[in-house]
Each structure stands twice: as C-alpha cells, then as structure tokens.
Structure 1
Amino acid sequence: MESGSVTTPFGRRSVTLGMLASQAAARKIEPGQSIDKWKLYRALCEARPLLGITDRALAILNALLSFYPKAELSEDNGLIVFPSNAQLSLRAHGMAEQTIRRHLSTLIEAGLLIRKDSPNGKRYARKEQGGELREAFGFSLAPLLVRAEEIERLAAEVVAERMHLQRLRERLTLCRRDVAKLIEMALEEGAAGDWSTIHLHFRNVVEQLPRSPSAEQIAATLDELEMLREEILNQLEMQAKTHNPSGNAQQSERHIQNSNPQSITELEPSFEPKQGAPADDRSAGRDEPTARVLKDEGKSEPVSGARAASTANTALKSFPLGLVLQACPEIMAYGPQGSIGTWRDLMAAAVVVRSMLGVSPSAYEEACDIMGAENAATVIACVLERAGHINSAGGYLRDLTRRAERGEFAIGPMLLALARTNSPIRGKTG
C-alpha cells in the first residue's frame, strides 16, 4: 500500500514542484474510486496530442499497465507496479533500456506516473506473512486514477475535433467537385463568360491549401469555394433563363445580351455605348456584341483597324483605381515615390513593370490602343500579380489584346478574382 508521505527520487535526480504537485493530487483519490485500466489507456491514446506524450511513451505505459494484476485500477488493490527495466523491455517489444528510461521520464513530467523509489533505487515489494503486499517501490499509477475524468474529457475533445475535420474535408471535396464540373460543363456548352480566368482562380484557391491543412485552413478554403460555386450557379442560371423562348425572336435576342451590368458575376464581356450616342444606338450597343456590330457595318463600308480598335476600346469596361490597387497591391511599389495615388501614377508604374516582365513596347502600345491606357495599365498590374503562373507575359498580353479587339475579354473576372485573393477579409463581395 502507498504511504501518504512525499517521496523524493533516488540518486542525482532532483525533485521538482511538478513532482510535488502530482504527489499532492494523487492523495485526493475518492473512496471506492476505480476505472477499467484498458478503457483508460484507450482514452489516453486518443488524448495523446493534448497531453504532449509520444506513441513510444504510451507503449511503455501499456507495458506498465500489463504488470498491474487487476483489470480495475483502484486504491484498494494498490497502485504501485515494480517491474525491472529488463522486464519492461520484453513487454515493450525489445525497446532499449536507455530509451525506456527516457520515456518513463516523459510520463512522469506529464503527470501520468509518480516515481516511488526505494532506498537503493531498486524496484521491489515487501509482503506480509499472508502474502499481501505491505510496501512496494516502483511507479505509482495513482495519477491515472485521479485524472481519469480529465483524460476522458480530453479524449472526447480530440475525437470531436477529428470528426469536425472529417466533415469539413467531405464538404470541401464535394464543393471542389461541383465547381470543377460546372466549369467543365460551361466550357462544353459554350456558355458566355471568361471561364479560363474562373478556372485559374479555382486552381489557385485549391493549390494554396497545404498538404496537411488545419480545420481553420479548410474552413477558409471551403468558404471561398462555396462563394465561387454560388457565383458560377448564378451566372449559369441567369443565362439559362435568358435563353427561354419568347413570342418575338428579336426580343429574345435582346434579352440574352442585356444582362445586369451591376451583377457580381460579371463573367461576360462588357459592351458599353459610345459617349454622345443617341438612346436607340446605346440600346443597340448593349443588345449586340461589338464584333457583330462591326460585321454588320462591314456590309456597307470597310472597317479600318483604327476604327475596330476604337470600338473595342469603348467596349472594355474600366474599374475604379481603388479596386485595381486592392486586387493588385504588388504594382504600388513601382509607382513614383513607391506609391500610387492617381491613374497617371499607375500608368507610369505599368511602363516600368512592362519592361521588367519582358513585354515589348509594341505589344504594350497595341494594348493601349485597343483597351485604352488605363485598362492596359490595369492588365499589366494583374499580370504582375500572377507573374509566377504566366510563362510569357508578352504573349499573354498580346492574346488578351486580340480577345479584347474581338470583344471577348473583360477585365472584371480577373480583377475580382485577385481582389478576393488579396482581400484581408474573405467575405462575399456585394
């Protein structure tokens, strides 16, 4: 049986306040308290991350529990086990004695064992004439009995966290599948929108997730993908509604093209009327893409390259400078005095960045002619932000310029995707 006095370790091992606290707590065992030792051990295995012990230390504890003669830990049966290191090594699958001593120290420091050393440091027990143990020297399992409720509570927390993480992973997998298949369907069906930019944003969100993410990281990625899925669904549902047949074919065509210019899912190219145009001309400009207008005009007179560029220029929507800087903060370092306060500053920074990215002057001048100086500077800022994912900035800019000239490119999706990525608060825009 254990004595109620404080015990100090044998040899050069010093006593610590933690040891005294563990011994004081071990004397608070309630009368008649008992617990199944293997049930408690399973809870210890679950709670291991919160207790700060290793799997090797648990293997040693398993060996110690195997030397306890009863299935139930209780003070009435005694709580001291006294196997030698050689016996422990046999039951710990041949673990080296030096390793055993190190993990025993870990269990003691974690407050799961108490060392009760004999006068000579050996582990043994004295028995009464009737065979009952009178006194034993070894390791006390009393802290396990005292902390049984705490250990089971910690184990329940670990299990709950693991289940929460598993549910988040399942939701993330389903959301990733939904977004991937919706984008694939949009591309196969030829739905209007800059789906390559949307797919690039989707891949960026997915690839930013580490190999072993925490629950917080998965939740943040899940929120962003759910927002993206909702935007894609809104865009596709809007297009599906606009393609419903009506009584007048001409009205149906206008209904398809006349989308809400303030919609957050601004995935289709934006076509704006020329300034000063009559009301009927503005309506027609919204109803039909610029490419179709140019084609119709070409029936009566040839269309010059400058006129086509001017039309694409007015068709490309520009965005506020604040939104551009929020989406593309990297370019601010290249502005005059290391900051950007006006569009003139942004265009000056774009010239510096253009040279740094290896974009030829002719490619940038063509982009300015087709898109406009402000929009070309905005595109350069976006290219700088995504420079690590673009092999040839010059070729990429020329491709965007050609698409803008045909009325097939809008800056909005690229800018909004970067704004969401660089926003300090990941919330749904709009």
Structure 2
Amino acid sequence: MQLASSGGRRLRHAALAARELALEPGRTVTRKELSAAAREAAKALELRNGPRSVLSELVACWGEQEWERLLVWPSNDYLMSRTGLSERSIRYAFKVLIDQQLIVPKESPNGKRYAVKDLAGELVDAFGFDLTPVYARRGDWAERLIEMRQAREVRKRAFDEITIARRAAEEALRALAEHYPDLDRSDLEEHVKGLKARTPVRSTKAMPHAILDEWTALRMVCEQAFLKAGNGGKSCRHTYNNNGSPSEPCNKGFPKKAEAVRSTEQTPEHLSPELILEACPTLSDYGQPVRDLADIVSAGRYLRASLGAHESAWAEAVEEIGTVRAAIAVIYTLQLYEDDVAKNGGESRIKNPGGYFRALTRMVKAGKIDLAVELLAMRRRRMA
C-alpha cells in the first residue's frame, strides 16, 4: 500500500478538493455556528453513527481562534474516550469524513497532531484536521435537505396512492364475491396477492412509481370487471367518431376559452414574473419584455415549440393546470434542458423535452411537484 510521505496517510482527491474551500475574508465562526453546520451536513449526507459522532467531537474541539482555517488537533485516544469507538472505527470515520469533503487532514512532519505556539505562548497554528469545508459548504447542506424533504413528500404521496389503489382493488373483488359469487375471479385475486408481495414497505427509500402504476392498472381492471358484471357482460362503450391520433384533442387546436388568462387564475406572490426571470434566463429567447402574467403566457406558448412538444401537450397542460402554470412549466422545462446541456458538455440527460413537459404537467396536477418551490431552488442554485 502506497502511503503519503507526511504522516503515513493516503493522499485522496476529495481532500485536495475540500482544501480549495475557504471562509469569506474576515469571517469569524463560533462553535455554535460550526456545530449547526455539522448537524445539517450529517443529515444531508445521512452519515452513520460512527462518523457522525467523530464529526461532532471534532467540532466540539474548535476553540474559536481567529484563524483563516478551522483547525482542531484531538488525539485518537481522546476521540475514543469521548465516542466509545475503537481506534479502527475512529480511523474509518476519518476516511468517511475526508471522502465526503467534510474535513481535510493537515499533516505534521512526524505524523502527530499538535498545536504550534509562538514565543509568547499564543496559539498560531496547528496540525490535525481542518473543519473549514463543513462550514463553507453550509449552503449545499441547506439545499440538499430541501431536496430530501421534497423527495420524502413525493414518496409519501406515492405510497398513499398505492394504499388507495390497493384498497379499491380489494373492495372491487369483495363486491364481486358478494354480488356475483359464481363469477371466476381467481386470476384477479392471484394478481392482487402477487402484487402485495412485491410492494415495498413505506420505510424504503426507493421511489415506488413503477409499482404504483401496476396498482393503478390493477384497480381499473378489478373495477371494470365489477362494472361489466353489473352490465350483464356488456361494456356499453360509446361510439367514437375521432379517427385521429389518440394523443391529439378532437378539435385539433387550442380551446379558445383556455387560452386567455382567467380572472380567477392568479398565482401566489412568490410565483411572480420577477422570480421566473431570475430563475429562467432562457426567457431572453422570447425576444419580448415580460412584465405580467399575460407576457408569461405568451412566452410559454411561443417557447413550447422549442421543446418539440406537440400542440396537444399545451392543450392538455392548459386544461389540467391552467394557462399560467402551463406557460411556467414550459419555461421551467426549457431551462432545465438548457442547464443540463451546458453542464454535460452539450449533451442533455433529458432526451425528450416534450415528453418531459407532459410528465411535469401531470405531476403538477397530482401535487407531486410545486412549481414555486422548484423555481425558488433553481434561482438559488443560479445565484450561488
């Protein structure tokens, strides 16, 4: 194993990257502020108990010196006595904290940790660990915690919808058994039983969107079976005169009443044209001044073609979430796409912006995404 020349610690890329982080000029940090940043970092990175305890003890060692770097130098024996961990666990915790760019080792010539004093006995420097990255990245922790809360809310809603669909499917089968006991329903009951076995528990961190789609489809099948049984085996379908594409509206255009900004369709104060302009500079492609909701709607309708979205996608969005939010969804999707292209060297992970716009519209309608929250987060990332 190749070791670094100073103190026998391996050189890590994460340590070099974290070393570039610095405090604002003239900034002083209290132990209380550093401790708050460390707690948010531990939550945002979901640190285990060992690294979390070691980080907490390192922060507690900060003496509030007016230095450019936040240096601490506790020994392994001290940390072992404070945390109850073994020396091997302490060393593993150091590795985790360094890899997560929370601390930076500052090695001494002999590999020991100690403070350096001047002739007057004042502390002027130290060899040990630099906690500057923990505090310098406090904005990252706050943003990540917001994203985690949003993800938890989306996951909770998905599991709630799974519960609703499961109960509806089971109720449909119960009604079939009660009213039509002679009807064969064994296949549906087996399907419900198998799907229940594959449904993850709520404590899982995975997004259950795929299993939700299966439950929704199974609910429809069970309810249709009950409906068909009540109709004497007839489906009673209406005659369809629309021979066009199923994804297109019957009138082949926009509903005129939905194109205007309704008097009752007002956005919250924090979802203002000013916020949209700051979060989405792609509005400059519109080429016209944006001053109010009417301008936002015009810009969204104009930029829809830039997404490659069909007119039916716009019509669906207007019908489902209103004209203003449909326009904001267009602008937000286009900005996401352009940001992704710029970030990934000309290639975006969003392969179908038009399809993304349709999906976004449906998630906004279902309450899974709040456009105001997304725009605030986008503006914060852009300003940072």
TM-score range, shorter chain: 0.5 to 0.7
Q: Pick the aligned partner of 2:234 from 255, 259, 271.
A: 259
- Counterpart Cα distance in 1 of 2:28 and 2:183: 69
- Counterpart Cα distance in 1 of 2:233 and 2:148: 54
- Counterpart Cα distance in 2 of 1:126 and 1:112: 23
- Counterpart Cα distance in 2 of 1:85 and 1:10: 18
1:180 alignment counterpart: 170
2:27 maps to a residue whose letter is G
1:158 maps to a residue whose letter is M
Question: Tell me, what secondary structure is at the counterpart of 2:235?
Answer: coil
1:146 alignment counterpart: 136
Structure-2 change in CA distance of 1:181 and 1:154 (3 Å): same
Structure-2 change in CA distance of 1:197 and 1:127 (3 Å): same
Deviations for 1:401-428, whole angstroms, at most 9, x for unmatched residues?
xxxxxxxxxxxxxxxxxxxxxxxxxxxx
Aligned-pair distance for 1:207?
Answer: 2.0
1:82 aligns with 2:73: yes
Aligned-pair distance for 1:146?
Answer: 2.1
On the 8 A contact 1:46/1:159 being kept in 2, the answer is: no
The 5 Å alignment of 1:167-206 reads: 167-190=157-180, 193-206=183-196
On the 8 A contact 1:48/1:54 being kept in 2, the answer is: no
| Aligned residue pairs, count | 232
Which ranges of structure 1 fall in alignment gaps of 5 or more residues? 1-7, 243-256, 264-430
1:110 aligns with 2:124: no
2:126 alignment counterpart: 136
- Counterpart Cα distance in 2 of 1:156 and 1:132: 42
- Counterpart Cα distance in 2 of 1:60 and 1:260: 66
Question: Tell me, what secondary structure is at the counterpart of 2:102?
Answer: coil
Structure-2 change in CA distance of 1:223 and 1:20 (3 Å): closer
Structure-2 change in CA distance of 1:19 and 1:213 (3 Å): closer
- Counterpart Cα distance in 1 of 2:144 and 2:5: 29
- Counterpart Cα distance in 1 of 2:158 and 2:25: 41
The 5 Å alignment of 1:94-105 reads: 94-105=84-95
Structure-2 change in CA distance of 1:96 and 1:214 (3 Å): closer
2:17 alignment counterpart: 21
Aligned-pair distance for 1:236?
Answer: 3.0
1:47 aligns with 2:44: yes
- Counterpart Cα distance in 2 of 1:207 and 1:183: 18
Aligned-pair distance for 1:187?
Answer: 0.5
Normalised by the length of structure 1, the TM-score is: 0.47
Question: Tell me, what secondary structure is at the counterpart of 1:125?
Answer: strand
The 5 Å alignment of 1:329-408 reads: none
On the 8 A contact 2:41/2:138 being kept in 1, the answer is: no
Question: Tell me, what secondary structure is at the counterpart of 1:95?
Answer: coil
Aligned-pair distance for 1:172?
Answer: 1.3
Question: Tell me, what secondary structure is at the counterpart of 1:162?
Answer: helix
Aligned-pair distance for 1:122?
Answer: 2.2
- Counterpart Cα distance in 1 of 2:233 and 2:131: 77
On the 8 A contact 1:183/1:199 being kept in 2, the answer is: yes
On the 8 A contact 1:68/1:81 being kept in 2, the answer is: yes
Aligned-pair distance for 1:19?
Answer: 3.0
Aligned-pair distance for 1:145?
Answer: 2.0
- Counterpart Cα distance in 2 of 1:108 and 1:139: 10
- Counterpart Cα distance in 2 of 1:181 and 1:75: 68
On the 8 A contact 2:73/2:129 being kept in 1, the answer is: yes
1:10 maps to a residue whose letter is S
Q: Pick the aligned partner of 1:58 from 52, 77, 94.
A: 52
On the 8 A contact 1:168/1:215 being kept in 2, the answer is: no
Structure-2 change in CA distance of 1:237 and 1:10 (3 Å): same
On the 8 A contact 2:73/2:113 being kept in 1, the answer is: yes
For structure 1, which segment, 135-144 or 190-199, has the greater mean C-alpha deviation from structure 2 after superposition?
190-199
Aligned-pair distance for 1:44?
Answer: 1.9
- Counterpart Cα distance in 1 of 2:197 and 2:142: 37
2:370 alignment counterpart: none
- Counterpart Cα distance in 2 of 1:39 and 1:261: 64
Structure-2 change in CA distance of 1:11 and 1:214 (3 Å): closer
Structure-2 change in CA distance of 1:228 and 1:130 (3 Å): same
Deviations for 1:258-291, whole angstroms, at most 9, x for unmatched residues?
613889xxxxxxxxxxxxxxxxxxxxxxxxxxxx
1:62 maps to a residue whose letter is S
- Counterpart Cα distance in 1 of 2:38 and 2:93: 16
